[in-house]
Structure 1
Amino acid sequence: MIISASRRTDIPAFYSPWFMQRIRDGYCTVFNPFNRKQVTKVSLLPNDVEMLVFWTKNPQPLIPHLKELDDRGFRYYFHYTLNGYPPELEPKVPELHDRLETFLQLSNLIGPEKVIWRYDPIVLSNIMGYDNHQAMFEKIAQTLKGSTQRVVISFVDSYRKATSQFKQLAKQGIYIAEELNLEAIEDIVRTLVSISKENELEIQSCAEKLDISPWGVLPGRCIDPLHIKRVFGIEVNPTKDKNQRPECGCVQSKDIGAYETCLHGCRYCYAGTLQAGLRHHGRHDVHSSSLIG
């Protein structure tokens, strides 16, 4: 079994003590996000967990615990999102400089093949346009050269929660481009591909509805059996995860997070708002088997 920790929230940033307590107890419980009466007990015993996949914008709180994970025999890798957006879009995310330093620290500790850089979603707006993305992507790529091997990109989707946030931003004079023409997308993609090559990065897309492979970006799998076999030398079930979007190529995993619990407050997020995150975080108990309640 592969454990996703988590697409639904940032467990390393905000719930590392809980996660480690669950590791020590050997299990956690997870509510069905669509029916809270359905609760699943998930084993976190090393013999039952083939891989831990972390998704985060700030893994710093989890780094002191990595030796314990190693000592217990866990295998893991990170998806680490670095966009460099202004606080109008990412109000509670630590400064980019600090997160770059954390990325380098993490890569040096566990190896560049186990830390995947995510530059997603790509959000074009009147406060961060094409030229800003080009400059930011190049800055981050140059800083991370040699400290990661892969970058993952995608364009922002108009999820219900995100669209509501975009309407609020518009009242503040910040306008998100929700519909991009093919020419603009091609220009951005070709630029990012060129920068990636210059910095020795493999570039892939994540659950992208548009086929951008003609411009040099193949569809990727964030939970990727080929990557797992190459890096860790083990084979996992290659069956596509039926619980993910049709465009998602990831193999089966069990997500142990919960929606509406992240405290980053990113205005483009599909998984919740800052207000909801703060409300639910108040019900978090580090000793509970479930993340919330």
Structure 2
Amino acid sequence: MFETIQQSTDFLGKKGMKAILSVSRRTDIPAFYTEWFLNRLKAGYVCIRHPYTRKWRKVSLKPEDLGVIVFWSKNYSPLLKQIEKVEKRISNLFFHFTITGNAALELNVPSYTETVKDFIFISKRYSARHIIWRFDPICITDKLSFSYYEDKFIKCAEQLQGYTQTCYISFVNLYKKVFTNFKKYTGQKIVEVNLAEKREFVYKLANIAEKYNIRLYTCCNDCLLCKNVHKGSCINGYYLARLFQLPLEVKSAATRKECACAKSVDIGSYDTCIHGCLYCYANTNKEKAESFYKNFSPDWNSLEGIVNLKEIKEKSYVVHRATLL
């Protein structure tokens, strides 16, 4: 079975401007979908569906249309084994690397002692300016205290010193699905901490980070800003334009409240990541993501199935989903 979409081939940037590709906020493509991503780069396009309007787009991945690829991952090992194939298509790469050491809530994520090695590899291959350490989200439970997170932060910072200049932190967003998954998969109970407690802890982390020459930033948590806690911009168009000396699309395009990110195109899809993180906002539950992954094919031209570009009807949004179950 195939997807049918409305024709809308979008070259990402405006004329003369290079575009930013996000790979991906919605799932961990480097960890689980590297082969699929390489196939899409080779094909020169990918089909994506807007998560809210449900409309499809065909997005160019040709080198002349891409300025920067911003990767997001908790496990870069599969991608790094084939990173040269990516570099042959586009050499301007930027990395968000989440390392928390929180095995209690990140069920299928490799040990931080292993992922730190990949972090260092990326930093040496590019530079400390090309990679951001993410220590988020912070999720306090009846079994995971502030002290637990402080200890993990120090252990990570000790190993990452000199290999990054920035660390992004945030507190968990307590969506209904987060409470549901905690109740379903763990005996832990989420503790809702007040603003004063959050500020006290973040200021402590900022002082620790400074000892390791790392600046602390918050993502969509403006209430925590102070002299040594800075406002983050996960996709900072101006920073990336300077870093890679490129004319980039830098128009602001917030993805949620207090977001300071520039415009980008995210090619991921929800309910596809199998890390099993209990705080995850991108998955409904583990079973749905695992079922998807079991039936997934790297030959698909989207992360939701095969989109049939020949069977296009004007103003037609009828979708025939690929069989996943």
Task: Bin the TM-score by the shorter chain.
Answer: over 0.9
RMSD between aligned residues:
1.6
TM-score (norm 1): 0.93
Aligned mates of 2:236, 2:294 — CA distance in 1: 35
TM-score (norm 2): 0.84
**Given residue 50 of structure 2, which amino acid in structure 1 is its aligned partner?**
N
Aligned mates of 1:151, 1:59 — CA distance in 2: 18
The corresponding residue for 1:117 is 133
Structure 1 residues 12, 263: CA separation in 2 closer, same or farther (over 3 Å shift)? same
Contact 2:164 2:214 in 1 (8 A): yes
Contact 2:271 2:289 in 1 (8 A): yes
Aligned mates of 2:204, 2:95 — CA distance in 1: 25
Q: Deviations over 1:107-150 (max 9, x none)?
A: 22222211110001011112221111111101101100011111
Alignment equivalent of 2:187, drawn from 169, 173, 182 = 173
**Given residue 256 of structure 1, which amino acid in structure 2 is its aligned partner?**
I
1:202 aligns with 2:202: no
1:254 aligns with 2:231: no
Any stretches of 5+ residues in structure 1 without a counterpart? Answer: none
Give the structure with higher Rg (CA): 2
1:96 aligns with 2:112: yes
Contact 2:66 2:90 in 1 (8 A): no
Aligned mates of 1:131, 1:262 — CA distance in 2: 29
Contact 1:225 1:235 in 2 (8 A): no
Alignment equivalent of 2:28, drawn from 3, 6, 10 = 10
User: Which structure ranks higher in relative contact order (CA pairs < 8 Å, sequence separation ≥ 6)?
Assistant: 2
The corresponding residue for 1:30 is 48
- The count of aligned residue pairs is 286
1:269 aligns with 2:304: no
The corresponding residue for 2:317 is none
The corresponding residue for 2:3 is none
Aligned mates of 1:215, 1:91 — CA distance in 2: 35
Aligned mates of 2:48, 2:295 — CA distance in 1: 15
1:136 aligns with 2:149: no
Alignment equivalent of 2:164, drawn from 139, 148, 153 = 148
Contact 1:30 1:256 in 2 (8 A): yes
Structure 1 residues 213, 35: CA separation in 2 closer, same or farther (over 3 Å shift)? closer
Q: Deviations over 1:178-206 (max 9, x none)?
A: x2123311221111101111011121111
**More displaced, 64-73 or 78-87?**
64-73
More helix by share: 1
Aligned mates of 1:246, 1:183 — CA distance in 2: 20
Aligned mates of 1:33, 1:235 — CA distance in 2: 28
SS in 1 for 2:277: coil
Aligned mates of 2:85, 2:159 — CA distance in 1: 29
Contact 1:265 1:274 in 2 (8 A): yes
Aligned mates of 1:16, 1:40 — CA distance in 2: 21
Q: CA deviation at 1:25?
A: 0.8
Contact 2:103 2:109 in 1 (8 A): no
Alignment equivalent of 2:67, drawn from 50, 66, 72 = 50
**Given residue 46 of structure 2, which amino acid in structure 1 is its aligned partner?**
C
Q: Matches of residues 178-193 of structure 1 in structure 2 within 5 Å? A: 179-193=192-206
Q: Matches of residues 63-74 of structure 1 in structure 2 within 5 Å? A: 63-74=80-91
Contact 2:179 2:190 in 1 (8 A): no
Contact 2:41 2:89 in 1 (8 A): no
Any stretches of 5+ residues in structure 2 without a counterpart? Answer: 1-18, 306-325
The corresponding residue for 2:323 is none
SS in 2 for 1:289: coil
Contact 1:281 1:292 in 2 (8 A): no
